[in-house]
Amino acid sequence: MGRPALGHRSPEFKTVLERVFPALQNVFRTRQPVLLYTASGTGAMEAAMVNVLNPGDLVLSVCCGVFSERWAEVGEAIGCTVERLSVPPGQANLPELLEARLAQDTDKKIKAVTLIHSETSTGVLNPIHSLVHAVRSHGALSLVDAVTSLGASPFYFDQWGVDVAISGSQKGFMIPPGLSFLAMSERAMAVHKSCKAPGYYFNWTKTLKAQAEFTTPYTPATHLILALDEALKVMETEGMEAIWTRHHQNQLMVREGVKALGLELFVPEDIFASQAATSVLPPKGVEVSALRKHLKAEFGIIVADGQKSLKGKIFRIGHLGYIHQRDVLATLAALDKTLNALRA
């Protein structure tokens, strides 16, 4: 990223994109094109909705926290009618609930269902394969937020029949924020063709046309794409299956470690726990803010607070991306010392 600027229409940059586009398909496990946007993950969420939905369309938003709720907010912002199907924070969205709601929709009013794989605000991992299957059986489009699951948990865009999936650069791709990615099925593409106002900057047709020639429709964040090129090489060398296994092992280490420290997990069942972040309840008498301050000041380790209604109620240990056992052990040891210091 420290290299001098290079022209985004130069042959050198085209060569980078010739590597990046197929490598992104490998991460999404798809033969479909993966669009690259200069925007954070939320930009890709908007891109997903605006390209297939018209104002007034009915969207079912399956919610379990801040980021799944964001889908609903984006839908409302572009003029859709949004119905939420929510569970309390810390719980996973189960297919049975979704199937029951979709079964009531006999006249097929629901055009799209928004889903989240890993809900970063709570540390929940939803059974996304089954949820997508339920949506597919109904006939609506499934729009999946894979921001903190791609590059952490198994994800098979084509095999699972996902219609649209989005992710962002600062998560499993391990580079700074500013890029996002979007894969779309042929079904979603067909719906896009009849979309009345598919926007301009995020427009799939414009982006696809440029990407077919290994360029971008507008000036992209060239240096982030150089970083992405390197990150994708690192990911390809390790291999997606090995990356998922490493995340699973780190996640289990974190979960077992915090339990051994006498702490309670916010998501009790391993199968519904995110492989990107683990949410933990602070022990009685210890403030989350004090715990975070001590960990940062004494050990240079940053853990996140809860968001919105969970602020001060949980803290979140991130274990996404370039993380190895040593980092997990250091964090657990620092947490142990921090708890001792704060309880003293």
Contacts with ligand PLP by CB under 6 A lie at 40-42, 67, 120, 145, 147-148, 168, 177
H/E run at residue 114: strand 110-116
Buried b (16+ CB within 10 A) or exposed e, 100-123: ebbeeeeeeebbbbbbbbbbbbbb
Identity of the residue, 13 or 71, whose beta carbon is nearer to ligand PLP in the bound complex: 71
State in angstroms the smallest separation of the CB of 279 from ligand PLP: 13
State in angstroms the smallest separation of the CB of 145 from ligand PLP: 5
Of 92, 93, 182, 88, the residue nearest 134 (C-alpha): 93
- Nearest residue (beta carbon) to ligand PLP: 41
State in angstroms the smallest separation of the CB of 234 from ligand PLP: 20
Residues facing residue 119 across a β-bridge = 124
Identity of the residue, 135 or 147, whose beta carbon is nearer to ligand PLP in the bound complex: 147
State in angstroms the smallest separation of the CB of 295 from ligand PLP: 20
State in angstroms the smallest separation of the CB of 217 from ligand PLP: 20
The DSSP result for 122-149, as a single string, is: TTEE--HHHHHHHHHHHTPEEEEE-TTT
Identity of the residue, 147 or 243, whose beta carbon is nearer to ligand PLP in the bound complex: 147
Torsion-angle region of 246 (φ positive above 0: left; ψ -120 to 50: alpha; else: beta): alpha
Identity of the residue, 57 or 145, whose beta carbon is nearer to ligand PLP in the bound complex: 145
State in angstroms the smallest separation of the CB of 114 from ligand PLP: 11
Identity of the residue, 154 or 338, whose beta carbon is nearer to ligand PLP in the bound complex: 154
Identity of the residue, 168 or 198, whose beta carbon is nearer to ligand PLP in the bound complex: 168
Identity of the residue, 148 or 250, whose beta carbon is nearer to ligand PLP in the bound complex: 148
Please tell me the chain's helix, strand, coil percentages from 3-state DSSP, rounded to the nearest 5: 45, 15, 40
Distances (CA, A) of 263 to 259, 308, 335, 337: 5, 22, 11, 14
C-alpha–C-alpha distance, residues 252 and 274, integer Å: 10
State in angstroms the smallest separation of the CB of 266 from ligand PLP: 16
Distances (CA, A) of 305 to 126, 156, 274, 299: 21, 31, 16, 17
